[in-house]
Structure 1
């Protein structure tokens, strides 16, 4: 099931909108509280000033506010008491009870909360009241008026951020476009000049991946080319041998010899194909890694090769000086050791010795003719055989062994042996 991709641009904008919404909400609440506190201070100051002026006995008859004519948002309730008699009330529908103490207090009048300021001057008591709900409405109106510019700025910020994100992601878009236009075999590295530092690691890893793929394609092409070249010779020989058999059907002795040669040719071709497949598997490197004891993994192989060495009159020795732990693919380890044992037994004359030892490294030594120093690296090339060599090998054995050794994190080197022949050394 294909996983639906998400848009980084959309996610960034969603996060930004969420943060701005939270910030605006917090700012609106704080603004409302601050405005409410400040408006209460202003209204309280106005109420106190009005009460003190009236209490001084100034003639304000012509200037006393009429509730019916006052602005609903700024309406005051005024009452003047002389001893116990109410001399004046600005709104008879909202009469406030006489207070015993001067100052501010909150009471309920006609079903609404009212804030009252009382000023006492001798027998004269002046009361100035204001509905608290009206104060809250004023604060809310002011808060909303201040919120609109903030909301407008938030929209501008979102739009600007969307543009900035689009511009910031443009290098990724160019990178995607460049990769989309490439053909399957085009492995040229990406040009990282001018790229943002955040994208450079991605581009570098992409270049490294393409370099590995290019090497793999080159190896595959080389492998197919070499395999076709090497298979051509034994297949041609088989065709010639088959033609010889047809021509010698009436001569039993010659026919038997031709059939035997053909069998040997088939065996060589089968061995070549087997080694080609083994090399392909080693390069594919698809088996799981594991930690294992090299000595325990080697003993079954030595038991397998002991009869072959005995038949050739060769002494096969094994010395394990210490335990050696290896991390890698057991099949790769077996491929290395099989090829080294094959070569050692094949090129050691009758009466010779093949010695396998384990310490910090693994050594496979023989008392054979050895390999000249100038040829010790060349023999690791695929299908390379030493000129004048009497062996019938394909020239793939050591190439397979080195590839497998590399997958184990080891180096395969050829050195002179203390036995007089060649020493193949696996070093970690």
Structure 2
């Protein structure tokens, strides 16, 4: 399983772990050396002193006291018999702790009796404990120092990585003239990572630019045939010999041509990534466009047996770009028509926007975010749509500074709300 801890934290952990190992080994080495000295060197010294005491005992035939801290006991003489607490010790060097008292004991047996040399070690034990306390304090300080130094170095190591991440996330990196990232970094791992980002971002910019140019070219070239269709429809509608059925078909063609013209304008604006159009865009009020859409969609709702109501709850007088607003509203009405089998659809206008309410089957909670993605259709999808209508609505709203959201449940249907920015 991959480690999901932040890289900075892993660097600090590695620093502290390395210090724990090195400092712990060093501290244990000091303790081992102290014990080695205590067991071997002190043992040799006590052995020499015991030999001296034995020789003196043989000469004087009585117990010998080496110094104030060292005493000699022997079972050979009754005057300095071996104390019971020292009598059961093994041959050679031993360390005896009796409460707060500490003794070094060296025992040797010869000629049928035992000779024991006892040296009080209160001061040595105190110094030994002080030494161990110093070693422990040094160990803890080294661990805390490693943690602090690890944090400092990790921040310095991660600083160029964070800087690179911020540069990559910046929205200007997708612009065609965005500067390369690699020249700002040395030729190391971060520099090679920046070069890889440059290559990937370059390919992404190329793909976006190619898509933008394609959309722009197609939208531009479609203007001429759409103008021809619209002009031809106007001429046909002025002809006196058309029957009522033929006139209705020409009106339908003209309306479809106008819708396609709005879509072309919308796609062209999206392809220009928010740049101002060179021409003068048509402006409409929300109420005016809603009335137009009501007249256009009412026959289709009526043919399906659905009630369609336009409710004005105080629409403002601000004016908006007709093509973009018409694209958003018509796509939401088309979506309501497709997914509502009975009941009613309402187009409700407000001071800050509008909403489209339907009595359809609703949208599950886990799909309410995904339906605004391209090529995503609901589980109860109908018709031959590709799942691009709501995606187009989302993109137009983002480009215009509007917001769109959905509230839906199987019991009450769906409500798509569009909040419009300040118009002109």
Shorter-chain TM-score bucket reads: 0.3 to 0.5
- TM-score normalised according to structure 2 size: 0.45
Give 1 or 2 for the bigger CA radius of gyration: 1
